[in-house]
Amino acid sequence: MAMDGKSLKSTSVGGSSSYQNFVSIVSVYSHKHGWVLRHQVMENKQKSELEVVEELVQELEGKNVVITLDALHCKKKTLALIIKSGNDYIVALKKNQLNLFKAVNKLVSSTLCI
C-alpha cells in the first residue's frame, strides 16, 4: 500500500505568505489491485499530512501489508505506528537525516560485500 498526499490545484489561499492554506488528499493506493482503497481530504492549516498518514496506518492495523512512504514520513513515531500495527514498511531516506543516512549506507555497503 502506497500512502502519499497531493495538493489540489487551485485550492491555495494566501499566496506565498506563511498563512497560506490549501486542500490536499492523502491516498492509500493498492499496488496489487491498482485502486485507491482509502483517501482522506485535509486542509494544511487544520492538519498535516503526517497526522493523516498516522491515522491511516492505524486503520490498516493487522492487515499484513507493506506500506510505502516518501521521505517526509521517515519519522520515529510514524514507523513505530506501522510496526505496532503488525505491518511492514519501505520508506525513502534523504541525507537531511545524516546520521541515519550514514548508518544505512554503511549497512548496505557491508551487506553488498558478502
pLDDT tens per residue across span 14-65 = 666 666 777 889 999 998 899 999 999 888 778 889 999 999 999 998 889 9
Give me the chain's average pLDDT, please.
87
Among candidates 103, 100, 47, 56, which has minimal Cα distance to 82?
A: 56
pLDDT at residue 99 greater than cutoff 80? yes
Query: HSE-up of 20 (CA within 13 Å, CB side)?
Result: 10
Q: What is the pLDDT of residue 15?
A: 66
Q: What is the pLDDT of residue 58?
A: 92
CB-based contact 27:38 (threshold 8 Å): yes
Q: What is the pLDDT of residue 1?
A: 93
Sole residue written with cell 485535509:
42
CB-based contact 81:62 (threshold 8 Å): no
pLDDT at residue 89 greater than cutoff 70? yes
CA dist 38 and 19 (Å) reads 29
Q: What is the pLDDT of residue 83?
A: 95
Sheet harboring 88-91: ordered strands across? Answer: 35-43, 23-30, 2-7, 66-69, 88-91
Q: What is the CATH number of the domain that holds 86?
A: 3.30.420
pTM for this one?
0.78
Domain hosting 69: range is 2-112
Domain count, the chain: 1
